[in-house]
Structure 1
Amino acid sequence: MAKKIQILIVGHNENGYTHEVGKIAYETGAEVAKSGAVLITGGLKGVMEAASQGAKDAGGITVGIIPQNEASFANPYCDIVIPSGVGLARDFLNALAGDGVIVIGGGSGTLSETCAAYMYKKPIVAIKNTGGIADKFADQYIDHRKNVLIIGVSTPKEAVQTILEKIKSNTT
């Protein structure tokens, strides 16, 4: 059996999270599940919880890699919880666990995960008009190295289609 594609969704935790961003995260998680990919998140609240709920409601598999050392901190929509116990360093675990990354809004934690993915040349897609890091870096490189262009998209469906295309083109 072939390895399932793993898509990391990063974005606002409960600080900066809005109903509109939550709806987009939910729809993006559902699209990940419909594609047959596994959803990876940081396993906590905000975008992570909304995306996980969307994936679960669509019949998908959800993994939460949390910074704490106790699984009880994870949101209730995580099928598999990995309590890393390494605090914010877990951002690198998240980035490496995903074959590609979708950014929805986000602050400094999202930037940390996005930068880790960028350093490892993972495909990255940002959903425009969700604020924060997604809007700041959509259709741009993070730095002069130009490791990967962060592709700006407009909808959850487009985000998942685009990231799947990029992941598949990286493995062929």
Structure 2
Amino acid sequence: MAKKRQILVIGHNTNGCTPEHEKVAYDVGVEIAKSGSVLLTGGLGGVMQAASHGAKDAEGLTVGIIPQDDATLANEYCDIVIPTGMGLTRDFLNALSADGIVVVGGGSGTLSEVCAAYMHKKPMVAIRNLNGPVTQYIDGYLDHRENVKIEGADSAQEAVKKILELIK
């Protein structure tokens, strides 16, 4: 059996997550599940919960890699919970576990995951017009090394289509 694609969705936790972020993240989760890929998230609230909810509603498999050491702290839509006990260091585990990443808004934690993915040349797609620290890098690079371009997308469907193309 071939390894399933693993797509990480990152963005705001509950603090800063707007209804628009939740809607887009939910739709990204649905599209990931429909593609037959496994959804990875940080397993908590906000964008992570919304994406997991969407993937579950579309009968997909969801994995939450949480910073705490208590699996019960993961959102209710995680099929598999990996309680790392690593705190913010788990951002690197999230990024390195993914074949590709979809960014839905976010804050400094999201930027940390993007930087880890960038250093390891992981394909990334960020949704435009959702404000966040990655917005200024959409359709460009984080730095002079030009490790991997952060592709932009205008919708959940376009984002998942692009990340699937970049993974192949």
TM-score range (shorter-chain normalised) is over 0.9
Displacement of 1:133 in angstroms is 2.7
Q: Once the two structures are superposed, what CA deviation does each residue of 1:9-45 show, in whole Å capped at 9, x if it has no partner? A: 0001111100011000000000000000000000000
Q: Does the 8 Å contact 1:103/1:133 carry over to 2?
A: no
Matched, 1:151 2:151: yes
| TM-score for the superposition, normalised by structure 1 | 0.96
The answer for the alignment partner of 2:140 in structure 1 is 140
Displacement of 1:131 in angstroms is 1.2
The answer for the alignment partner of 2:32 in structure 1 is 32
Name the SS for the 2:9 alignment partner: strand
Displacement of 1:138 in angstroms is 1.0
Q: Does the 8 Å contact 1:127/1:134 carry over to 2?
A: no
Give matches, 1:95-106, under 5 Å. Answer: 95-106=95-106
Give matches, 1:12-161, under 5 Å. Answer: 12-161=12-161
> What is the alpha-carbon distance in structure 1 between the residues aligned to residue 161 and residue 133 of structure 2?
21
| TM-score for the superposition, normalised by structure 2 | 0.99
Unaligned runs of 5+ in 1: none
Q: Once the two structures are superposed, what CA deviation does each residue of 1:34-71 show, in whole Å capped at 9, x if it has no partner? A: 00000000000000000000000000000000000000
Q: Once the two structures are superposed, what CA deviation does each residue of 1:112-133 show, in whole Å capped at 9, x if it has no partner? A: 0000000000000000011103
> What is the alpha-carbon distance in structure 1 between the residues aligned to residue 133 and residue 3 of structure 2?
30
The list of structure 1 runs, each at least 4 consecutive aligned residues, that deviate by more than 4 angstroms after superposition, is none
Q: Does the 8 Å contact 1:64/1:80 carry over to 2?
A: yes
RMSD over aligned CA atoms reads: 0.6
The letter of the residue matching 1:129 is N
Q: Does the 8 Å contact 1:102/1:127 carry over to 2?
A: yes
Unaligned runs of 5+ in 2: none
Q: Once the two structures are superposed, what CA deviation does each residue of 1:92-150 show, in whole Å capped at 9, x if it has no partner? A: 00001110000000000000000000000000000001110342221110111100000
